[in-house]
Chains A and B, each alone.
Chain A
Amino acid sequence: MLAYPHINPVGFHIGPIPIHWYGLLEIISFVIGTIWLIRRGRRAEWQWTKEQVLDLEYYLSVGAIAGGRLGYVLWYDLPYYLGHPIQILKVWEGGMSFHGGLIGVILGCWAYGRKHDRSAMAVLDFMAPAAPIGLGLGRLANFINDQLFGRVSHLPWAVIFPAGGPEPRQPSQIYEFLLEGVLLLVILVVYGRKERPTGAVGALFVLFYGIFRFLVEYTRQPDIQLGFVLGRLDMGQVLSAPMIPIGIALLYWAYRGGFETRNRDSATGASP
């Protein structure tokens, strides 16, 4: 088994203000993602200006934070928040859900698309390959913060997490970093290099995130207030399972040309 590296959650101080690794990694991922999207937007097939990318980031951030929080409230601890509704606003005390964040981001793409006359699926295609950067670094931050660790295991690479008791556990945050961060990024970047039907890149994100998260959850310690929720499935799996058929359906529809806009159809001769 491996020893937990005991990384100080506080990276450094700026004067009296402690800078936590978690926040720092989120900021780093945001900056990297933004720079990458600005570069991506310059490509002829996208044609996004820097201002448009920054405007989109605003919509996505609001969607991710609001959706992530509401998702957590709704799917992870609703009885508590019904009794303490003010606590919903205390985002800094922790409690975000990826699945809620994803819905918020999709709504953000839709709202942005409406404002700027772009289709929501095209906006999702544009930003989806940047998402694994934030997701991956977020999982590394979870590892540094000694949280969201795995189930008890005696594998050679199991880690004794201080917050998880004396038994070695699966380093599920690292699995998530590798799958939902690195591998998903590679898949989307490689797939997105060629011109694809509108909606296909976003659909692929939904499909593969659903698969990876569903699998990794088998190694992750379920949230203590819930435990398992459906036989051997935890809430992360219950919420990830529909992403797989939805991702396949979106991919199918994208390849049928269903998300191509009529303007474009007439320009390219694509079938409806």
Chain B
Amino acid sequence: MNAQPEEAGESMSPATRRFVRIVIGFATLYGLIAAFLSFHIVVEQQAVRRHLDTALRVRPAGPFASMRASRTAAQAFVARLDTAFQHNPCGPGPAFMLAKPPAIPRRDCLVVIVPGRQRLHVRAYDTQGHRMDNLFERLNPPPRRL
């Protein structure tokens, strides 16, 4: 008999009441920590998405006369971006970096500009250091709202 009408609240034993309190306490604490984590991540992710979106939108057009010309353009581009966005949202260090292939830096919230003959490539890493999807990001540009 699972659901016979009963005196529900008062019929709980002290041990069960203690158990329920522990479960509710754990869930509440966990939920608050998750909310704090989410808040923190959304703010950082919003910033790196804005950085990526800007880099994709305003990168100098290719093709370049030579790899050297591409590197020069990339260097100037990174300098411009670093002036506009001075901080890496995930911690110390710059928000943008120039890659010198084959070495491509990888760091949380970093946007990397990779020189190429045809065009400058943009590679971004999210708050957890995973590579972001440029196409998906272009389809869903960050709203300018925070």
Do A268 and B1 have beta carbons less than 8 Å apart?
A: yes
Q: Does B91 contact A (CB under 8 A)?
A: no
**What residue of chain B has the Cβ atom nearest to residue A242's Cβ?**
B30
Stretch of B10-18, B58-66, B73-81, B115-123 that contacts chain A: B10-18
- Whether A83 touches B146, Cβ cut-off 8 Å, given contacts A74-B35, A238-B37, is yes
* Residues of A241-268 contacting chain B, CB below 8 A: 242, 246, 249-250, 253, 258-259, 261-264, 267-268
Q: Provide the bound-state CA to CA distance between A48 and B2, in Å.
A: 11
Q: Number of B interface residues, CB 8 Å? A: 44
- Whether A78 touches B3, Cβ cut-off 8 Å, given contacts A152-B133, A235-B34, A258-B19, is no
Q: 1/0 per residue B97-108: CB within 8 Å of A?
A: 000000000000
Instruction: Enumerate chain A residues within 8 angstroms of B57, measured Cβ to Cβ.
Output: none
**What residue of chain A has the Cβ atom nearest to residue B37's Cβ?**
A229
Q: Provide the bound-state CA to CA distance between A261 and B63, in Å.
A: 77
Instruction: Enumerate chain B residues within 8 angstroms of A261, measured Cβ to Cβ.
Output: 6-8, 11-12
Q: 1/0 per residue B106-134: CB within 8 Å of A?
A: 00000000000000000000111010110
A126: contacting residue among B3, B8, B19, B46, CB under 8 A: B3
Closest beta carbon of chain A to B125's beta carbon, Å = 10
Do B3 and A164 have beta carbons less than 8 Å apart?
A: no
Instruction: Enumerate chain B residues within 8 angstroms of A47, measured Cβ to Cβ.
Output: 3-5
- Whether A226 touches B132, Cβ cut-off 8 Å, given contacts A114-B8, A118-B8, A263-B11, is no
Do A116 and B38 have beta carbons less than 8 Å apart?
A: no
Instruction: Enumerate chain B residues within 8 angstroms of A118, measured Cβ to Cβ.
Output: 3, 5-6, 8
* Residues of B1-57 contacting chain A, CB below 8 A: 1-9, 11-13, 15-16, 19, 23, 26-27, 30-31, 34-35, 37-39, 41-43, 45-46, 49
Do B13 and A79 have beta carbons less than 8 Å apart?
A: no
Do A166 and B39 have beta carbons less than 8 Å apart?
A: no
A221: contacting residue among B16, B126, B136, B146, CB under 8 A: B136
Give 19 new A-B contacts, CB below 8 A, not counting A165-B136, A196-B2, A225-B46.
A74-B35, A75-B38, A78-B35, A80-B146, A118-B3, A119-B8, A122-B8, A125-B2, A164-B136, A165-B135, A167-B135, A227-B130, A227-B132, A230-B128, A238-B37, A258-B16, A262-B11, A262-B13, A263-B7
Interface residues of B (CB under 8 A from A): 1-9, 11-13, 15-16, 19, 23, 26-27, 30-31, 34-35, 37-39, 41-43, 45-46, 49, 126-128, 130, 132-133, 135-137, 139-140, 145-146
Interface residues of A (CB under 8 A from B): 45-48, 74-80, 83-84, 103, 113-114, 116-120, 122-123, 125-126, 152, 163-167, 195-196, 198, 201, 221, 224-232, 235, 238-239, 242, 246, 249-250, 253, 258-259, 261-264, 267-268, 272
